[in-house]
Structure 1
Amino acid sequence: DLCSLQPIMKKEPSPEKQLLLMQQAYEKMHQALLKTHRPIVYSLCQYGKDDVWKWGPKVGGNLWRTTGDVSDNYARMSEIGFSQAGLSKYAAPGHWNDPDMLEVGNGHMSVDEYRTHMSLWAILAAPLLAGNDLSKMDDTTKSILMNKEVIAVDQDRMGKQGDRVNATGEFEIWMKPLSGGAKAIALFNRSEHAHDITVQLASVGFPGSTHARDLWLHKDLGILRSSYTATVPAHGVVMLRLSK
């Protein structure tokens, strides 16, 4: 965590020297971890300062926070999650963008909002760190956090982070490449009312037909051609796995 270093950084005369000091501190910790000769995941927590995703791997980081802290409310969660658009090129196996922990099950979002939270983090190939009390999960919370099909999207062996394909007002379509030529897509409704959202299959890499499966309904949708339209609840998501 950067907290204890910040007072020292502020003594430096320029932002450039502050950045250099921060990078040197993280590299020093990296070297210390290597000397333990143990497998350790090295997480950089400095809240996305100075475009950490551009230099995090150079100081040994396996993941790095990209923003300030998440909160258990839709406004903050969605602000953080959707702000990750454009960062996919900086993620790869062993080096991950981290938009902070999951708030699923903490009680201040709706079921649809928690599904959006889980879906978006999975599309982002983000670390899935449960931030709730695991000893007091109800069945709904378990069904979200333990959805094996959504977790499989996050953990796909290609290690590709997804990104936004299209945004029209409060409606967004995101896509994550998966192994074997498959794709995960998520249709997000950021508005206060249910709304139909249509994805053109060619825009997500399927100009012909594709097999589709709904990952929250755990239901095969059969063969889709050209486009697909779903009614997405307010602040909700429809998440599909598409494959040949």
Structure 2
Amino acid sequence: MKINNQKLLLLLLSICFLTFVNAQKKANISKTPPMGWNSWNWYGKHNINEKEVKKVIDFMVENGLKDAGYNYVIIDGGWRDTKLGNNGELLTHPVKFPNGIKPLADYAHAKGMKLGVHVVPGTHDCGGDLVGGYGHEEVHVKQFVDWGLDFIKLDKCRFVDKDCNECPKAKNGGWDEAVVEASYKKWSRLLKECGRDIVFSISAYEYRDWYPEVCNMARTTFDIRAKIHSGGADFVKPTKFKKAHLSVMEIAEENNKVAKFAGNGYWNDPDMLITGIQGLSRKEQTSHFGLWCIMSAPLMLGNNLGHMDKFEKNLILNKEMIAVNQDPTEQGKIIKREDKTQVWAKKLKNGDVALLFLNLDDTKQRDISINLKDLNITSKVKARNIVDHKDLGIFKNTISMTAKTHECKMVVISNI
């Protein structure tokens, strides 16, 4: 009996040790929210190819994006062939990616960048191609390791019959919720055990309470409305349909609900950034980027890098805003709502607090204020506008900002 108890104790200790090691590995891979660029919002499924991917890598290296922290390039849908190989392996598109993925990963690594791809855990991708990983997970993970990948976006898409006859009518893409959980947990285990550090990004369109233990980042909503979608991006206008592409503020509101779960190597993902010529005004783009920064969201650009103007480039390279985003202390959240305005706050590791004053009014300028006591601050503070890089002086008791329609004022306050 004593021997059996000793064996049981050793088994339990081994399990605890492995759990600790896996948790530490996950936290080390994504100590801060990942930053990079994803092909989907601009190129979609049909316009991405290996030549464009190399151009993106070169641009990010040569124009300061890599140095600012944007070091992941993610090839979303469009890189695969329309079916799997004879052994269930993933095949690259013979025309758009004739040389395969490994040469692109090698190219990225030689430039100090990292590469990732979009894959699906079910039977079909979201366009109906029979390329899903269900039943082939081990084969696919081995391919990722052999290719030298650094990031996997696992998009739920479809789980239906082979010919996709059920695709148009399948509820929840044909998925049973228990199968969703089991499938993603299997992928998580295989990636943790694969011997390579790979960021695991889940795209399953809503938050689930098992995400923080399973992955490094996970989508909390349906897709953001971007250039690729009819009508382009929108800042605040609600969608007509529950499962349609969402506006910036619809997504921010949903992501705010799960703020407390972020941290320790897991980050809530409110989808890609839609800066540039995708439908938002300059003020809205600044508010959008500011929201993603204060929410500690992964900063995945979804824009046309080669056509950025000076405004857009300066925005996404704003060091002070990025510093707030990369501070791992917590995910910022809404602390005040009043008369079509919001105040968001995020505590920073040095004791400072980042604040975002947001005007959601479609027509009028608004004065927005917060009482320092609501932030548990009783002393005077100095404030700095981190959008415009200007010191604002000393404040006591209350901080007030004036914001134009859909504009934000983002400041960092420090005790003095």
Q: Give the TM-score of the pair, scaled to structure 2.
A: 0.54
Q: What letter is aligned with 1:165?
A: I
Q: Counterpart in 1 of 2:212?
A: 57
Post-superposition shift, 1:222?
A: 1.8
- Counterpart of 1:4 in 2: which secondary structure? coil
Post-superposition shift, 1:214?
A: 0.4
- Counterpart of 2:378 in 1: which secondary structure? coil
Give the direction of change, closer, same or farther, for the CA distance of 1:35–1:236 in structure 2 (3 Å limit): same
Q: Counterpart in 2 of 1:119?
A: 290
- Counterpart of 1:3 in 2: which secondary structure? coil
- Counterpart of 1:150 in 2: which secondary structure? helix
Q: Counterpart in 1 of 2:133?
A: none
Give the direction of change, closer, same or farther, for the CA distance of 1:7–1:213 in structure 2 (3 Å limit): farther
Q: How does 1:88-237 map to 2 (within 5 A)?
A: 88-158=259-329, 160-192=330-362, 193-237=364-408
Deviations 1:126-180 (A, max 9, x none): 000011011111001011111110010000142x101110101311001001011
Q: What letter is aligned with 1:69?
A: D
Whether the 8 Å contact between 1:188 and 1:235 is mirrored in structure 2 is: yes
Whether the 8 Å contact between 2:383 and 2:411 is mirrored in structure 1 is: yes
Which protein is richer in strand relative to its size?
Answer: 1
Counterpart check, 1:73 vs 2:73: no
Give the direction of change, closer, same or farther, for the CA distance of 1:57–1:157 in structure 2 (3 Å limit): closer
Distance 2:254 2:180 in 1: 24
Distance 1:117 1:6 in 2: 36
Distance 2:161 2:271 in 1: 24
Post-superposition shift, 1:111?
A: 0.7
Distance 2:386 2:177 in 1: 42
Give the direction of change, closer, same or farther, for the CA distance of 1:187–1:7 in structure 2 (3 Å limit): farther
Bigger radius of gyration among the two:
2
Counterpart check, 1:4 vs 2:158: yes
Whether the 8 Å contact between 1:202 and 1:208 is mirrored in structure 2 is: no
Q: Counterpart in 2 of 1:21?
A: 179
Counterpart check, 1:39 vs 2:197: yes
Whether the 8 Å contact between 2:212 and 2:262 is mirrored in structure 1 is: no
Q: What letter is aligned with 2:369?
A: T
Task: Among all aligned residue pairs of Structure 1 and Structure 2, give the percentage whose two residues are the same amino acid.
Answer: 33
Distance 1:107 1:20 in 2: 37
- Counterpart of 1:126 in 2: which secondary structure? coil
Distance 2:249 2:357 in 1: 14
- Counterpart of 1:104 in 2: which secondary structure? coil
Distance 1:172 1:94 in 2: 28
- Counterpart of 1:179 in 2: which secondary structure? coil
Which runs of no fewer than 5 residues in structure 2 stay unpaired? Answer: 1-154, 168-174, 226-232, 237-246
Whether the 8 Å contact between 2:387 and 2:410 is mirrored in structure 1 is: yes
Distance 1:218 1:135 in 2: 26
Which runs of no fewer than 5 residues in structure 1 stay unpaired? Answer: 11-16
Whether the 8 Å contact between 1:156 and 1:179 is mirrored in structure 2 is: yes
Distance 1:5 1:184 in 2: 42
- Counterpart of 1:74 in 2: which secondary structure? coil
Runs of 4+ in structure 1 over 2 Å off = 4-8, 82-86
Q: What letter is aligned with 1:93?
A: N
Distance 1:7 1:200 in 2: 57
- Counterpart of 2:327 in 1: which secondary structure? coil
Distance 1:28 1:202 in 2: 47
Aligned length: 236
- Counterpart of 1:5 in 2: which secondary structure? coil
Q: What letter is aligned with 2:352?
A: A
Whether the 8 Å contact between 2:201 and 2:218 is mirrored in structure 1 is: yes
Give the direction of change, closer, same or farther, for the CA distance of 1:69–1:6 in structure 2 (3 Å limit): farther
Counterpart check, 1:82 vs 2:253: yes
